[in-house]
Amino acid sequence: MAYAPSASGKGAMVWEMNEKSRYPGDPQGQAWVAGVKQGFLVKSVGGIEVSNYEFWDIMDLLDDKIKDNSAGKFQSGGQGSMGNKPLELPLTIEYAELNVNEDDAALGMESTGNKVDMRDARFADLPSDATIKEYRIPKAQPITSEVVESMRGYVAGLPEPSPVDGPRYSGKASLSGASIKAMIADFKDGKLLPMKDAYQLAIDAFDILKKEKTLGRVTVPEGKKVTVVGDLHGQLWDFDFMLGLAGLPSADNQFVFNGDFVDRGPWSVEVVFSLLAFKVWQPDHVFMNRGNHEAEMANTFYGFFGEVEVKYEKKMTELFADLFRATPLCHVINNEAFVVHGGIPGPDPRVWWKGIDNQISFDGRQLQISLEEIENSDRFMEPNPNMNPLMVDLLWSDPKGKEGYGPSGRMSSGIYLFGPDVSRNFLVHNKLRMILRSHEVKAQGYRYDHEGEYPLITVFSAPNYVDKAGNLAAVAVLTNKGSQLQGPEFLQYAAQPHPDVPSGAYAMGGPLHPDGLVVEST
């Protein structure tokens, strides 16, 4: 169904597949019948050894860049630097199963991928194939980007936009609440920032974000408030309606945008440029957390990069990849509330077993991770559970009702569920009162997933997600009264009417993806 590259961009791994065959000869089940498994690597294609090829060079040979369909047509133009052409069918593909030790060695890490000691009381209920790894936190380094530096000259050389009836950006001084509201109105009328302006706004935002810590601090003065906004997913009309309810960012009304700004929704470009305009205009009162969809792999498959290429040019996707890597992972408000897209630190040691079973849990963290450790961790990379398990925990994990840790069903290994005891221990250790997170659709737009003295609350701000979910959306408002945060109070709203452009229109295989997908009628 889909492949994915390694963290270095080399090789191709089976990312998504049907682990069953629905009927004899099912085209989406033949790989499973032949013995292929999720996580297998492509070793050779048509007898050509490709394990060290760049990802897109392998995809060019396979001509298999999007989910399978019954069109029987080549699905995408070439993207690799080698300029490979699709090989003739029928085609033999050889796969390899990479063991844990080899995988870690390829990532430059020492492996502790051994079976757990079942005599250890902590692991008594785990399956016999459970494995264990060391939990490592890479240290932060000053963020520098060759991509962004090279683009400064490129942008300077772009022609000045001719007079246009639409949004403009000419530096921070050109921004105000009124100008950004007018920009959003222009976006809704189908008008875009000119190419030069768009690049410059993204670069200016990158220059601000790269100076921030992986864990940022938000101070809300007495009598003032902060609004936490969950997933937006490119739903421009709903985003604009939310601003009408919550107001615009200011010193009196600060905002934390809690990740998943883009993908799926077909106005992700407009939403993210609106957020960047707010950030450049009010850098001390607008805060951004990275979500699991602010990542190259997600953006390639789920639409944002396709949308950027259609509305601007493919080169701009490189800028956004580094801008998202520079975005902080979490914030703490008034030393009381921890705000993060996904969840909190996972088990240490890193125990893993296959399958979801909430009746099986284990107490997997004996040493608590401090806010300072998160603050000083490296974030300028793509999420990878071997290289940076902490980042994956913060972006991907979810709460569950039963105490302890358990495996998640999201995507692949290394993503966890965590119980109320885990969130309580993290909050107590760091002298915090609550966790606000997003990442999951909630019918009412919010939910207390862990209640009590140390609550964990999910806030989701994309109503009728992917035009199908039927959910309300919400934002959470916290007010400093009596030198303590009160709330949160929730502003709820329903999906707003919008032009008839389907969710996922720019995703791989979508009707507006730049590679196109021509299906001939018969």
11 φ/ψ sector (left φ>0, alpha ψ -120 to 50, else beta)? left
Strands 473-481 and 484-493, by their bridges, are antiparallel
pLDDT tens digits along 286-328? 999 999 999 999 999 999 999 999 999 999 999 999 999 999 9
pTM: 0.80
pLDDT at position 174: 97
pLDDT at residue 437 above 90? yes
Write phi, then psi, for 427 (nearest 5 degrees): -65, -45
245 and 199 share a domain?
yes
346 and 446 co-located in one domain:
yes
> Is the same domain home to 224 and 353?
yes
Please compute the mean of the pLDDT values over residues 414-443 and round it to a whole number: 96
Instruction: Give me the phi and psi of 226, to 5 degrees please.
Output: -135, 140
pLDDT at 71: 37
**What Å distances lie between residue 427 and 78, 345, 404, 430, CA to CA?**
49, 11, 15, 5
Residue range 329-360, pLDDT digits in tens: 999 999 999 999 999 999 988 888 776 565 67
Q: How many domains does the chain have?
A: 2
123 and 45 assigned to the same domain: no
Residues 125 and 18 in one domain: no
Q: Residues 378-407: what's their mean pLDDT?
A: 93
Determine the pLDDT at residue 73. Answer: 38
3-state SS assignment for residue 106:
helix
On whether both 179 and 33 belong to a single domain, the answer is: no
Q: Residue 102: inside a domain, yes or no?
A: no
Task: State yes or no: is 331 an active-site residue.
Answer: no
Q: Which residue has the higher pLDDT, 10 or 309?
A: 309
- Looking at per-residue confidence, does 70 or 1 come out higher? 1
For residue 8, pLDDT beyond 70: no
Grade residue 411 by pLDDT with cuts at 50, 70 and 90: low
Same domain membership, residue 428 and residue 298: yes
One-letter-per-residue 3-state SS of 324-348: HHHCCCEEEECCCEEEECCCCCCCE
pLDDT above 90 for 150: yes
Q: Which domain holds residue 485?
A: 109-521
Residue 202: band (very low, low, confident or very high) from pLDDT cuts 50, 70, 90 = very high
Read off the pLDDT band of 6 (50, 70, 90).
confident
* Domain end (from 50, 66, 97): 97
347 within a domain of the structure (yes/no) = yes
Average pLDDT, stretch 105-131?
63
Using DSSP's 3-state secondary structure scheme, residue 97 falls into coil
How open is the CA angle 472-478-481, to the nearest 5 degrees?
A: 150
Lowest mean pLDDT among 97-101, 107-111, 197-201: 107-111
Is the preceding peptide bond at 488 cis, omega within 30 degrees of 0? Answer: yes
Catalytic position from the list 293, 331, 450, 513:
293
Domain end (from 46, 69, 97) = 97
Looking at residue 88, what is its pLDDT? Answer: 87
Beta sheet of 286-288, edge-to-edge order:
286-288, 253-257, 225-229, 473-481, 484-493
Euclidean distance between CA atoms 228 and 144, whole angstroms: 29
- At 222, the pLDDT band (50, 70, 90 cuts) reads very high
Strands 337-340 and 330-333: antiparallel
Q: Which of 214, 216, 210 is nearest to 143 (CA)?
A: 210
Contacts 24+ apart (CB under 8 A), 110-117: 110/134, 112/349, 116/351
Q: Is the pLDDT of residue 211 over 50?
A: yes
pLDDT at 379: 97
**67-96 pLDDT, tens digit each:** 444 333 344 455 788 888 888 888 899 998
Q: Are 161 and 197 in contact (CB under 8 A)?
A: yes
Dihedral (CA of 442, 443, 446, 450) sign? negative
Q: Give residue 408's pLDDT.
A: 85
Residues 154 and 252 in one domain: yes
- Which regions of 239-341 does DSSP assign to beta strands (E)? 253-257, 286-288, 330-333, 337-340
Q: Radius of gyration (Cα) for the chain, nearest Å?
A: 23
| 358-374 tens-digit pLDDT | 567 777 787 899 999 99
Query: What average pLDDT does range 256-277 have in this prediction?
Result: 98
The set of residues, in sequence order, having a beta carbon less than 8 Å from that of 489 and lying 6+ positions away, is 476, 477, 479
92 and 135 together in one domain: no
User: Over 60: is that where the pLDDT of 519 sits?
Assistant: no
Residue whose tokens read 């949004």: 167
Does 18 share its domain with 153? Answer: no
- Of the three residues 97, 117, 138, the one that is the final residue of a domain is 97
Whether residue 42 is found in the same domain as residue 137: no
